Amino acid sequence: MLVMHKSVELRYQINDIEKIAQQVLETLSSKTILLYGSMGAGKTTFVRALSKVLGSYDDVSSPTFSIVNEYKLPNDKMYHFDMYRIKDEDEALQFGFEDYLSTDHWVVIEWPERIPNLLPENAAIIEIILNSDHSRTLKLNENINLTNEKMAKNCTN
């Protein structure tokens, strides 16, 4: 199976985050984003900038305790998940996570590694790295077929 793949790497200062969000938006072909990064790397800050670039006036905050926040966009919505406090995939299924994935709205998931078997097959993967000089590096991999990647990893282990 041939899977199209785009990869972008951007180094930036936090005050340039809206410009970076605009560049990422111009590259994306999926409205589902898996957002990886250590605590404090700037994942929620990126979501805030992305929602603003998409035209939202909503106050974007980390959904650490609520698990999901919904933001209004012009003619659309964004669902922002933080899976950090999820105990297991069953808990995500209990609150209807899969229902959100079946919409045509934006879905941004922080800490997706907590629910590996529930992730959609095609999604944009963004990793944000906090560098020693306090700049950030954003790595975007677009159009990844996660099912095939999982199978390939299982075959090599």
CATH class, 8-156 region: alpha beta
Angle between helices 43-53 and 17-27 (to 10 degrees): 70
Q: Which of the residue ranges 19-28, 60-69, 84-93, 117-126 would you say has the lowest mean pLDDT?
A: 60-69
Task: Determine the Cα–Cα distance for residues 79 and 63; give it in Å rounded to an integer.
Answer: 10
pLDDT for the residue 153: 41
More confident residue, 89 or 155: 89
- The mean predicted confidence, pLDDT, of the chain is 88
pLDDT for the residue 22: 97
pLDDT for the residue 4: 52
For range 53-59, the mean pLDDT: 95
Q: Which residues pair with 58 in a beta bridge?
A: none
pLDDT interval class at 138 (50, 70, 90): very high
pLDDT for the residue 148: 46
For range 87-103, the mean pLDDT: 93
Q: Which residues pair with 10 in a beta bridge?
A: 138
What 3-state class would DSSP assign to 89? Answer: helix
